[in-house]
Amino acid sequence: MRIIKRFSKTHIGQKLIGFLFYSITSLISRSIRWEYLVENEKSNIFKSDEEYIFCCWHNRLFLGPHLLPRNRIINALQSSHSDGMVTSLAFKYLGMNVILGSSKKGGMQAFRKMVKCIKLGESVAITPDGPKGPKEKVKEGIIKLAQITETSIIPLVWTTNKFKLINSWDNFVLPYPFAKGVYSFGKPIYVKKQMNKNELETARQNLENEIKRLTKLVENKLN
């Protein structure tokens, strides 16, 4: 066990695990019978060349990246922790760029990189409650990013009728192969350029409520 644990922390080990993670998530995503719930016309997002800030809950990271549009450059924010490094490698196999950083380590540098990417006309993807929670609690970072860059936020939600919840801080969702699935992109959420502290908190709460509302919609679609 010690040898395996040490190997998993090496560059080669993480690269191998990252490839396996990408391969497994790809196979499961392709096996699921997906239905798109129209909240925001998918064609508007997939055909538009506008940059967006995509977001989904941390516990939906298993398949979330596979549902994002492939016709644009997307920069995914990931933790520099070893677990984040593995998912980062998986994202790269999906053709996404990765920005390493979190609220506890390299956060400001990562924030500047995201601002720069958006100004270059590229999109970013964020888990607004990551990397360590609290679960399904939006942090201010995504709101400030949208405010500074004047870029709209697009929530992404998905669920399947068969899945397993991992005993983690976010109850990570592991969908079963060949399940029925529903996903949806929310309507663009715009954040005002000028806001006081109370307005910033209102915008944060509104985004949190909207992601929860969309999640309920896709869940009810399968019931």
**For 201-208, which contacts have Cβ atoms below 8 Å and span 24 or more sequence positions?**
203/143, 203/147, 204/138, 204/139, 204/140, 204/143, 205/138, 207/55, 207/128, 207/138, 207/142, 207/143, 207/153, 207/155, 208/128, 208/136, 208/137, 208/138
Phi, psi angle pair for 183, to nearest 5°: -140, 160
Q: Are 175 and 160 in contact (CB under 8 A)?
A: yes
Contact indicator for 175, 28 with CB cutoff of 8 Å: yes
The number of residues in the chain equals: 223
Instruction: Judge if pTM exceeds 0.75.
Output: yes
CA-closest candidate to residue 129, choices 32, 67, 221, 215: 215
**CA gap 125, 153 in Å, rounded:** 10
Angle between helices 107-119 and 140-149 (to 10 degrees): 30
Domains in the chain, number: 1
Strands 163-165 and 97-100: unpaired
pLDDT for 86: 74
Angle of the 140-149 helix axis to the 197-222 helix axis, nearest 10? 110
> How many Å separate Cα 194 from the centre of its chain?
26
Q: Which of 31, 66, 57, 59 is nearest to 181 (CA)?
A: 31
Cβ–Cβ under 8 Å, residues 110 and 171:
no
User: 93 with 22: CB under 8 angstroms?
Assistant: yes
Please report, for the domain that includes residue 45, its CATH number.
Answer: 3.40.1130.10
Which region, left, alpha or beta, applies to residue 186 given φ > 0 means left and ψ of -120 to 50 means alpha? beta
Which H or E run includes 166?
Answer: none
pLDDT of residue 140: 94
Residue 3: per-residue pLDDT: 64
pLDDT tens, the chain, 223 aa long: 566 567 566 767 778 888 899 999 999 999 999 999 987 777 678 878 899 999 999 999 999 999 999 889 999 998 776 566 678 888 999 999 999 887 666 788 999 999 999 999 999 999 999 888 899 999 999 999 999 999 999 999 999 999 999 999 999 999 999 999 999 999 999 999 999 999 999 999 999 999 999 999 999 998 8
How high is the pLDDT of residue 8?
A: 60
What are the residues facing 20 on neighbouring strands?
none
Domain extent at residue 98: 2-222
